[in-house]
């Protein structure tokens, strides 16, 4: 199993771009889905999107126009960029790894490993 | 878009059985998963593929899924089980979470 360590700016102004990075330790990128999930204060989990080592991506339709998830295989990192942020984007952001042994041939995702979370606040 | 519905709260006494429900259209036709989340921590996967436990998850956690409802059951609930519980499914390439249920162990 990999370990994930994430980092990025925690305070943004409205209209700025959120940028977070997750470093993967102990596992290669090959064959895995790498995911970002967020959780507004006191609220539930929201899937943002995912990338796979081939470069393919899937995004939450509600965020798709503002999200880019990318990876840097040479650094074992994947990143999240969310543009034009507002107060509604204030949340704890998590990176996560889906265990393919639990995910039945790609017909679901099973997030067994999570980053520590980054609190991002959007405020003027 | 696909939606999963969970009741906001469940309360049990120590040693009793806690039951969590997650409702979605034909949820039984897809795999359900469950996560436990304690304050200030990332979620922990407790059930995958409807009824399987990852290594390290106690046997008192069990799951089922049929029709429109997935169920997580904690038998012999302990104080350490007090947390928020989220169900999850996958629909047409999109991961969907339920709104979460807060478990209070009285």
Neighbours of B88 (CB within 10 A): 27
Enumerate the residues of chain B whose CB falls inside 8 A of the CB of residue A110. 33, 45, 48-49
Q: What is the pLDDT of residues A33-91, one digit of tens each?
A: 999 999 999 999 999 999 987 879 999 999 999 999 999 989 999 999 999 999 999 99
Mind telling me how many Å the CA of A113 is from chain B's nearest CA? 8
**Which residue's structure tokens are 């999850």?**
B88
Nearest to B49 among A94, A104, A112 (CB): A104
Neighbours of B28 (CB within 10 A): 15
Report B:10-29 residues touching A (Cβ under 8 A): none
Of A33, A117, A32, whose CA–CA distance to B37 is shortest?
A117
Q: What is the pLDDT of residues B20-76, one digit of tens each?
A: 999 999 999 999 999 999 999 999 999 999 999 999 999 999 999 999 999 999 999
Select the residue from B24, B42, B51, B89 to test the A interface by mutation, using most A Cβ atoms within 10 A: B42
């Amino acid at each position: 199993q990999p370990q994930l360590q994430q980092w990025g700016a925690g305070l943004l102004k409205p209209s700025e771009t959120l940028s977070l990075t997750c470093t993967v330790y102990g596992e290669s990128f090959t064959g895995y889905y790498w995911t970002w999930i967020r959780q507004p204060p006191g609220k539930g989990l929201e899937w943002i999107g995912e990338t796979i080592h081939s470069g393919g991506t899937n995004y939450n339709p509600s965020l798709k126009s503002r999200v880019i998830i990318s990876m840097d295989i040479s650094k074992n990192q994947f990143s999240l960029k969310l543009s034009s942020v507002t107060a509604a984007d204030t949340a704890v952001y998590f990176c996560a790894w889906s265990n393919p042994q639990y995910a039945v041939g790609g017909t679901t995702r099973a997030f067994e490993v999570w980053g520590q979370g980054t609190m991002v606040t959007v405020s003027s | 878009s696909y939606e999963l519905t969970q009741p906001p709260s469940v309360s049990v006494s120590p040693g009793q059985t806690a039951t969590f429900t997650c409702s979605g259209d034909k949820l039984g036709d897809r795999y359900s998963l469950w996560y436990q989340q304690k304050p200030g921590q990332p979620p922990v996967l407790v059930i995958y593929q409807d009824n399987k436990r990852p290594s390290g998850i106690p046997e008192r956690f069990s799951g089922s899924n049929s029709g429109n409802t997935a169920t997580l059951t904690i038998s012999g609930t302990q104080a350490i089980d007090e947390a928020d519980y989220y169900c999850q499914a996958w629909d047409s390439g999109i991961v969907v979470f339920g709104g979460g249920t807060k478990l209070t162990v009285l």
